[in-house]
Amino acid sequence: QYDAIVLTVGATVPRDLPISGRQLKGIHFAMEFLTANTRHLLEGDTATHSVLSYRDGEPDLPYRVTNNLHISAAGKRVVVIGGGDTGTDCIGTSIRHECTSLVNFELLPQPPEMRSADNPWPQWPRVFRVDYGHEEATHKFGNDPRTYGILSKKFVDDGRGHVRGIETVRVRWDKDTTGRFV
């Protein structure tokens, strides 16, 4: 009856960032943060549910999330590592929680405004986009939250087992003869 069927799915299994300090409290996978927030919004004060947590790419024990235990960015300095739709959702949600500052680290360089010759159709167009989270951050903080060419090296401990900061380095990307980043 149909010429095509398209199945689209999101990645609910996170890709971990295996750097020193990853185990510190205050570091969360995007879907843990977003799922707990959505359930809290939908269920209010009665929100209690199991969420499967992942550590080192493997399922960890489910934990219970209740209204007073959902992951809140209120009053926090937030760093979102990575981009795409999920990164934008984390940015927007953190702003709505009233975080005090927000930065978004992107590993690759800023994409061009227009599609480049080494990115022909039907490939996904790698072009600079401003999504709702970036617009909200610009409105609240005065600038686009994205910083490009940043590699996360280490999470810094506050001495009590909580994340205090993140050590990063700037990276410069070149392209090989096929247009791939090296």
The string of pLDDT tens digits covering residues 50-68 is 444 444 444 444 434 444 5
Residues 6+ apart with CB under 8 A from 45: 67
Question: Per mean pLDDT, which range of 37-41, 96-100, 120-124 is the poorest?
Answer: 37-41
Q: How confident is the model at residue 26 (pLDDT cuts 50, 70, 90)?
A: very high
Residues 6+ apart with CB under 8 A from 140: 95
168 has a pLDDT exceeding 90: yes
- For residue 63, the one-letter residue type is Y
In the 8-state DSSP scheme, what is residue 157? E
In the prediction, which pLDDT does 107 show?
Answer: 94
Q: What is the pTM (predicted TM-score) of this model?
A: 0.80
Q: In this structure, what token pair is assigned to residue 124? A: 């996904």
Sheet containing 146-148: order of strands? 77-81, 101-106, 146-148
Question: Per mean pLDDT, which range of 38-47, 50-59, 150-159 is the poorest?
Answer: 50-59
In the prediction, which pLDDT does 176 show?
Answer: 87
In the prediction, which pLDDT does 118 show?
Answer: 83
| Beta strand segments in the chain, E | 48-55, 58-66, 77-81, 101-106, 146-148, 150-157, 163-170
CA angle 32, 26, 86 (to 5 degrees): 35
Give the three-state DSSP class for 61. strand
For the chain, percent of residues with pLDDT exceeding 70? 80
Give the three-state DSSP class for 69. helix
Segment 152-180 mean pLDDT:
92
In the prediction, which pLDDT does 66 show?
Answer: 44
Taking the mean position of all CA atoms in its chain, how far away is CA 57?
Answer: 16
